[in-house]
Structure 1
Amino acid sequence: MPSAPNSKRIKGVSIYRPFVYGSIATPVNPDKKPPNLPPDHTHQWTVSVRGVGENDISHFIKKVQFKLHDTYANPLRMIESPPFEVSETGWGEFEIQIKIFFVPECTEKAQTLFHFLKLHPYIGDKAELELSRTQRRPVQAFIYDEIIFNEPTEAMYDLLTSRGSALIPPRARNGRGWEFTEESEASELDRLTEGIKVVQEHIKKAKETLLEKERQVAQIKAQLEKK
């Protein structure tokens, strides 16, 4: 069967397009709560997939699916036009699954990403973190990434190149102040390190408790044998 027009792949060619994904969360002012806000919800937040520097990405991304925590009504949110984002309120941090679907010309499978929603600041000394909390500063957690189209179809190649090449942003921040790779990754590493320490401490205490219980059982057995 002959190939569909412009579905032939261009061998040896790779095209990448940068984008950012992540979230911004703002503490709710208890004196100015939005109407109908559940009493236990402490933050307003938005998770999104965007072009770098607000560059258009809808010419190669058809839609984006966000999978929220199961406690939310309709946790599977499909956004079929830009801006590709979901806004909600809540009190807890959790992992959000992000599934990016490409335009038909791409003929590639959807790409799945994972983002951990952050509501609280973790970067900085204690004084700075406390100031950030008291001033209810927004907490931003955005990651820079690239979608690579290896050997794209002729139709996809024409689509991508007709919009020009997107520029790679500075590693630290773009014009809107979003935090990228280094700070976000450093924060995650710090949190993982602290988490490992807590787990190790729990394991140590559990072992000590187990050893004490075994010692008590041995004493009881010894007493029973004497009777």
Structure 2
Amino acid sequence: MAPSISSKRIRNISVSRPIIYGNIAEKVSEKNPLPASSPSDHTHTWKVFLADPLGNDLSQYIKKVVFKLHDTYVNSSRSIESPPFEVHETGWGEFEIVIKIYFQNDCGEKNITLYHHLKLHPYPTHADIQRAGGDEEAALRIAAAENVSGHVESIQYDELVFNEPTERMFKLLTQKPGSLLPYKSDKTPFTKVAEREELDRIDKAMEEINKLVEQRQIEFKKLEEERKKIVQL
């Protein structure tokens, strides 16, 4: 008989596993009608999920995932005990969803809690904000009007880090590669290329923000000088 895998922890070792979580939403339309049981004032269908970016089976070490929805939903705490770890719903408003991950009993790991803001409407671009004259609500309306498809994705990449895992957990975590993003892949949008492109977009946005801050500082300085002149009169 093969010896059982020990629950002894492996010291000075950390193993990470990639995950993605978030939501995908679709605006209600003829092509995407509301389910018959949904309230008539709901404007979107959506799903919230937790998954492996490469499609690997998380249930080897994840026992269940509990999604805590807004209290107005019937059975607002949804426990999903087998893949896919996801909840399908409908609604009209955005709110924060608590995602709690429970690991298999013999893995010796504590529960992990994540937070995701349900996104039903598209994020406004810098151009939208400029067109709206800096009015955030108006920029949101512009972005929503231009999102003809009604499709919105809000997905985050993260890594579960296991410090000094048990021998059993270490074996499960290292059975397949996957602790690093692939450089290129048709299976997932989360690749090194996509990561680099996203970082470039963030850098560009930061540059634009810094320029706006500098412009505002110059304007404030001029206003302050004018104020001082008026006070001296």
Q: Same fold (TM over 0.5)?
A: yes
User: Matched residues in 1 for 2:32 and 2:84: separation?
Assistant: 27
Number of aligned residue pairs: give it: 183
- Aligned equivalent of 1:73: 74
Between the aligned partners of 1:170 and 1:57, the Cα distance in structure 2 is 22
Does residue 162 in structure 1 map to residue 162 in structure 2? no
Deviation at 1:59, TM superposition (A): 1.3
Q: Does 1:85 align with 2:110?
A: no
| Structure 2 gaps, min length 5 | 132-141, 210-233
Gaps of 5+ in 1: 194-227
Percent identity of equivalent pairs: 46
2:15 corresponds to: 15
Give me the TM-score of the superposition, normalised by structure 2. Answer: 0.68
- Do structure 1's residue 33 and structure 2's residue 28 form an aligned pair? no
Deviates more, 1:141-150 or 1:123-132: 123-132
Change (3 A) 1:9 1:138: same
Contact 2:64–2:80, Cα closer than 8 Å, also in 1: yes
**Residue of 137, 156, 179 corresponding to 1:143:** 156
Q: Aligned AA for 1:13? A: I
AA partner of residue 45 (structure 1): W
AA in 1 matched with 2:12: G
Give runs of ≥4 in structure 1 deviating > 6 Å: 178-181
For 1:34-73, what aligned pairs fall within 5 Å after superposition?
34=34, 35-73=36-74
User: Structure 1 132/102 Cα, relative in aligned 2: closer, same or farther at 3 Å?
Assistant: farther
Residue 8 and residue 47 in structure 1: after superposition, are their counterparts in 2 closer, same or farther (change >3 A)? same
**Structure 1 range deviating more: 115-124 or 34-43:** 34-43
In 2: Cα distance, 1:136 partner to 1:92 partner:
19
Q: Which residue of 1 aligns with 2:114?
A: 113
Q: Which moved more, 1:36-45 or 1:83-92?
A: 36-45
TM-score (norm 1): 0.70
User: What's the Cα RMSD here?
Assistant: 3.2
Q: Are 2:64 and 2:81, in contact at CA under 8 Å, matched by a contact in 1? A: yes
